[in-house]
Amino acid sequence: MLPNHSSFLLFVSAALVLLAIPGPAVFYIVGRSIGQGRSAGLVSALGIGVGTLVHVAAAAVGLSALLMSSALAFSFVKYLGAAYLIYLGIQKLRNQDSFHPTEDAARSSLSRVFGQGIIVNVLNPKTALFFFAFLPQFVDPARGTVALQILFLGTLFAVMGVASDSLWALFAGTVAQRLKSNARAMRVQRYLSGGMLISLGVATALAGNGTKK
């Protein structure tokens, strides 16, 4: 099931290079960390990771091919995801997040953040296209079931992605911690994180058919 040694090292190297380049998922996570702290950023990273696994499973059974062959399907998912990001941004601008929520409120908030992270990534057709184009390059049919190889490589990429995204969340959250005592700065970070989400939604809607995560 595993790729040969050279192919595996090449895959890991390529994955590290790709993950080092900030994409929409990174900007989403940074926006969450700035707006709600490191915990929200880390939970968002986990949600994005789970959403990635959905795309990996889809790639393994050939669903990504549908998005590549159908302009209508691609456009539908792209604009649905863009609209959702814009909605999250508007909600962020309208609501004043508290940095000292009750235990129940914090738990509920993090649950919603986790679910939103999953939805944001699942509704990103570029992620599906990325896996459809990237993973098969490291699959060798002679070494076992292709679907299992794709699942293995895709899951590894998702785990590496969560680790990389978590570093971004910690960095952005650390900066946000220093702003808590400044009421004006708290308003600025709310507008910044909401603006980032809205901008990301608009950029997603206007973007071409790239394959970057």
Read off the pLDDT band of 211 (50, 70, 90).
Answer: very low
Provide the pLDDT confidence category of residue 43 given band limits of 50, 70 and 90.
Answer: very high
Question: Which pLDDT band holds residue 11 (cuts at 50, 70, 90)?
Answer: confident
E-strand stretches of the chain? none
Q: Name the band, by pLDDT with cuts 50, 70 and 90, for residue 105.
A: very low
90 burial type by CB count under 10 A (0-12 exposed, 13-18 middle, 19+ buried): middle
Q: Which of 49, 71, 14, 25 minimizes the C-alpha distance to 200?
A: 25
* pTM more than 0.75: no
The answer on pLDDT for 100 being more than 90 is: no
Across all residues in the chain, what is the average pLDDT? 77
Backbone angles phi, psi at 22, to 5 degrees: -60, 135
The residue type found at 198 is I
What ranges do the domains of the chain cover?
23-206
pLDDT per residue as tens digits for the range 71-86: 677 667 667 777 877 8
Q: Residues 126, 207: contact at Cβ < 8 Å? A: yes
As a whole number of angstroms, the distance between CA 49 and CA 210 comes to: 20
Alpha carbon distances (Å) from 97 to 94, 143, 188, 208? 10, 51, 12, 34
Query: What is the spatial distance between Cα 200 and Cα 204, in angstroms, rounded to a whole number?
Result: 6
